[in-house]
Structure 1
Amino acid sequence: MHVFLDENLPESIARDLTEHAVSSVDREGWKGTRNGTLLALVEQRFDVLVTADSGLSFQNRLFGRRLSVVVLPTNLFPILRDNPLPLLTTLTELESAERRRPCLVRVGWDGRRWRRWLDEEAGLEHELAPAPAFKRLRRSIPTL
């Protein structure tokens, strides 16, 4: 699958997505491109846009798009690096989902996921089977 990482995600998470062709805003030379224009560009060449921008679906009309969008709960590299399974699980399911039917998938910290088909105007969200939960980083407290 062709996966595009949004500008708000660290490009280095691509190392965990070896089964997919991955690109990013920097690699494509699209840095600073507005969301509406970026969506149109991404839609022409990619199957999935991965982002941490939870407002993307509210700020842009996604109905009728030909690509899927995965919204992660964070863009912090240490957390994404240590927790590749929620994204990998979601991409694997999207790859086999009903003829790669375009959808929006929101992934929560606890691994809960919701899907909305982008070819249905009403676009009701349905809960999916959970993916592994994100483990938050624990900061060590120095001893005195």
Structure 2
Amino acid sequence: MTTGLYVVTLAVLGISFCKDREKTFMALKKAWKAFENIMPQFLGVLILTGIMIAVLNPRLISRIIGVESGWAGTVLAALVGALTLIPGFVAFPTASLLLENGAGYMQIAAFVSALMMVGVVTFPVEISYFGRKATVLRNLFAFIFTFLVAGIIAWVHAW
């Protein structure tokens, strides 16, 4: 699958290069700049996740946010997700690592859902654009929706 994506990407890049070399080089330069801007965050989160997994053995991860932790672990995972500012492209590999090390699907669903939808860290910026009431309501409903998502994922996984 991955090889196929690389082949398609290279083919489309080749077509773009044949059609307009200058625009293709500009696009590649912009992509490289975006990559350079994202890389420090990505590496930081990967290092933090690696340290966390090295320090917390799978049994401890399972106890804190595993299936056995139930709704308490789900609430904890949702709170951590709501308070964390991680880009989506980092969140999903992190979630995969946690799942491989004993985390539960319901708990990871709550973590990723809250991470993507609840913006505690970005609260001040959001208030400046949308106002306090809209920001509080949006974040509150998003946090509640996190538990609906977690419940659905648990139900689908058990099914």
* TM-score of the superposed pair, with normalisation by structure 1: 0.32
Higher helix share: 2
Q: Flag the structure with larger Rg.
A: 2
